[in-house]
Every structure is written in C-alpha cells, then in structure tokens.
Amino acid sequence: GAATAQTLALGDAKARGLLLFHGTSDIAENATVDELPVQLHVADPDPFESHDWLNSWYLQMQRTGADVEIYRYPGAGHLFTDPDLHDYDQAAAEQTWKVALGFLATL
C-alpha cells in the first residue's frame, strides 16, 4: 500500500498530499514535487523500516521538494493501527488517526 501510494503521489503533479502508514518505498532519483505535504506514521523501532533507512528516505524526500513529517511511535508493532492484529497499539493508533485526520483536513 505505502509503496503504491508513494509512487503515485510522486508521479502525479495533481497530488495534493501523501499520507503513509507503516512503511515507505524507494524513491526514483528523478522524482520532483513542489512542496508536496508528506506525513509518515511508523513504529519505533520497526522491523521493516530501520532508523538508517528512514533517515535516508527523509533526506531523499526533502531533495524531491516534499515537505515531510515523520511520526514515530515507540514500542508499537509494525501494523499498530489494525485492531485485529497482534501489533495493535491503541494509544499509538488513536494518536495516528488524530494527527492523520488533521493532516487530511489541511489538503
């Protein structure tokens, strides 16, 4: 999901924002956007999104011209917003939805 959303948003000049939960993807070297608002919500630590990877991803997104915010949730599991999974973290999920809905309201 995150990889597809990211690819579509970075490749569409009409994209108004990019909201990512739980993951990221590689960024094309020629990707450019004009101050695209980007928000990522991710577990900390996350077994699929290491700190080094996230730092690199953040810098690459900034180089594309994106306005990036990363929210990390200490102790949460990878898919912490899904109440049907073992990774679920109610406090992190509630905070994520609150922040994400606020982000969407600004677009």
Residue 7 has pLDDT above 90, yes or no: yes
3-state SS class at 99:
helix
Which band of pLDDT confidence, cut at 50, 70 and 90, is reported for residue 1?
A: confident
- pLDDT at residue number 74: 98
| Cβ proximity of 22 and 81 under 8 Å | yes
**What is the rounded distance in angstroms from the CA atom of residue 74 to the CA atom of residue 62?**
24
- Domains (ranges, CATH) in the chain? 2-105 (3.40.50.1820)
Over pLDDT 70: what percentage of the chain? 100
Q: Is the pTM of this model over 0.75?
A: yes
* pLDDT, tens digit, 9 for 90 and up, residues 37-76: 999 999 999 999 999 999 999 999 999 999 999 999 999 9
